[in-house]
Amino acid sequence: MAGLIAPIVEAYGELRVNKGRIMLALIGVALSVFILTAVMGAGGMLGSALEQSVEKSAGRASVVGVNHMGGGDPELTADERDEIVLEQIDRLGIEHRTRVINTAVRAQTRQGVQTIELQGVDPGYADIYRVRPEAGRWIADSDQNRLAPAIVVNQPAYELLGRPAMGTEPITLYGQSGNQQAVQAVVIGVLPADPTTDWGPRAYTAAGSIDEMPGMDQPGAIIAEYRAWVPPEQAEAVSNRLTQVLADTPAGSFGAGQHSAPMEGFEVLQQALIAVALAILLLGAMGLVNISLVTVRYRVREIGIRRSYGATGGRIFFGVLMESVVATVVAGAIGVMGAVALVKAPFVTDYFRGIGLVDLPPFPVGAVVTGLLAATLVGVLAGALPAIIATRIKVIDAIRS
């Protein structure tokens, strides 16, 4: 252990003596590691933001969709049809699933009666499509039994309705034609503003209470689609199984398939960013090699004297090498800490939230490890050549110099 610690302590002492010569090179290494780590960390967050932005409209990467293909007993109610499909989905042990029923209602607003897009969904919709209310709460199973239907609205709908008090102030909803049918509903949640999905006023309500909405009591008015979020490796098997068991049911024929968008492009973006950062790190390493070579030439006499007192070639090699490694590891640690502080800064995270990030991921551990390993590798490469030159210095020539 002493044989390992002694060269490190010696290297630290030499760095204190020669800090003026190598400070600029170490600043370059620290800056390079900072850029490498920050690019990898920010690239990971950018990839997450783009991926989550797509998932908010298309669903997770392994969502299986089930749609009615036709046929079936016309006397079946919407609840009976849902029970047939959801029973088969639940038998597969799928935890995250939802119905999606698309319709529209008209709402009484300060500008008169306005049309609002309405979706009937289950609580699992929030996990599948990364929905997080900014105020209030999301739909729960208990909302199906409310006398006044509970709705969650996006920002355009909330502003259109006059920003009603959540949970207490009722709003009036009408069917798509006429004002004979009216329902008093209550806003229980508001979604954050999102320019990628806020194409118009939209509201969500519990799928189990969608028949309470005006105009939804007509035959065939409720046509549900079904979504199930499964592990990626099981998506194809689940899709095939649901297609098989739902091919011929009293509710008709159903087809299943993957419903979401592919995410392969984000990996290419990450690799391109890493390539740029590595090029920057290489430039920093070249500067450190030049400084290390100059430093060794200034220390020829010192190395010769140490050799004359019995220092072995291996000890000289390891000592010179460790000077470079210790310096770059310290510089790399400073660069990594600066990168983490920058990427996790509020103004940076707010920017990523603005382009679609919903769930803030932790700083990638891989970026931290890569930054420290890169700094160590640069130290080894930058110290190896000067260390080899130091071991080849002849004692008599060194003393004469």
pLDDT digits 0-9 by tens, 289-312: 776 676 666 666 666 677 666 767
Which tokens sit at 114? 């306005």
Return the pLDDT at 212: 82
Return the pLDDT at 399: 60
Average of per-residue pLDDT across 77-104: 90
Average pLDDT of the chain? Answer: 81
Average of per-residue pLDDT across 363-369: 86
Return the pLDDT at 6: 55
Return the pLDDT at 98: 94
Which is higher by pLDDT, 303 or 85? Answer: 85
Which is higher by pLDDT, 196 or 132? Answer: 132
Q: Please name the residues in contact with 159: beta carbons below 8 A apart, sequence gap of 6 or more.
A: none
Average of per-residue pLDDT across 60-85: 86
Please, are residues 296 and 14 in contact by the beta-carbon 8 Å criterion?
A: no
Task: Give the amino acid at 386.
Answer: P
Return the pLDDT at 24: 66
Q: Please name the residues in contact with 106: beta carbons below 8 A apart, sequence gap of 6 or more.
A: 113, 114, 115, 116, 173, 174, 175, 176
pLDDT above 70 covers a percentage of the chain that reads: 79
Return the pLDDT at 26: 74
Q: Which long-range contacts (CB under 8 A, 24 or more apart) does 298-302 make?
A: 298/18, 298/21, 299/390, 300/393, 300/398, 300/401, 301/398, 301/399, 301/401
Return the pLDDT at 295: 65
Half-sphere exposure of 401 (CA within 13 A, CB side): 15
Chain segment 238-248, per-residue pLDDT in tens? 999 999 999 98
Strand ranges (E), 192-289: 202-206, 224-229, 253-258
pLDDT at 28 exceeding the cut of 70? yes
Tell whether the torsion through CA atoms of 343, 347, 349 and 354 is positive or negative. negative
The helix/strand count (H/E) of the chain reads as 12, 10
Please, are residues 161 and 109 in contact by the beta-carbon 8 Å criterion?
A: yes
Would you place residue 87 in the very low, low, confident or very high pLDDT band (cuts 50, 70, 90)? very high
Lowest mean pLDDT among 128-137, 142-151, 245-254, 348-357: 348-357
Residue 270 exposed, middle or buried by CB count within 10 Å (0-12, 13-18, 19+) = middle
Return the pLDDT at 3: 52
Residue 152 exposed, middle or buried by CB count within 10 Å (0-12, 13-18, 19+) = buried
Return the pLDDT at 10: 58
Q: Please name the residues in contact with 58: beta carbons below 8 A apart, sequence gap of 6 or more.
A: 259, 260, 261
Please, are residues 294 and 386 in contact by the beta-carbon 8 Å criterion?
A: no
- Nearest Cα to 144, choosing from 129, 128, 122? 122
Total residue length of the chain = 401
Return the pLDDT at 267: 65
332: three-class secondary structure by DSSP: helix
Which is higher by pLDDT, 138 or 76? Answer: 138
Would you place residue 73 in the very low, low, confident or very high pLDDT band (cuts 50, 70, 90)? confident
Which tokens sit at 84? 């047939």
Q: Per-residue b/e over 359-377, b at no fewer than 16 CB within 10 Å?
A: eeeebbeebbebbbebbee
Return the pLDDT at 319: 74
Return the pLDDT at 45: 79
Where is 59: in which H helix or E strand?
A: none
Which is higher by pLDDT, 336 or 223? Answer: 336
Q: What pTM was computed for the model?
A: 0.69
Q: Taking the mean position of all CA atoms in its chain, how far away is CA 53?
A: 10
Lowest mean pLDDT among 13-27, 149-163, 280-294, 302-316: 13-27
Would you place residue 185 in the very low, low, confident or very high pLDDT band (cuts 50, 70, 90)? very high
- The rounded distance, in Å, linking the Cα atoms of 61 and 262 is 6
Which range, 54-58, 289-293, 388-392, is most confident?
54-58
Return the pLDDT at 176: 73
- The rounded distance, in Å, linking the Cα atoms of 56 and 217 is 30
pLDDT at 118 exceeding the cut of 90? yes
Which range, 100-114, 219-233, 345-359, is most confident?
100-114
Which tokens sit at 326? 């210790």
pLDDT at 314 exceeding the cut of 80? no
Lowest mean pLDDT among 53-57, 229-233, 340-344: 53-57
Return the pLDDT at 322: 79
Tokens 């519990």 found at: 206
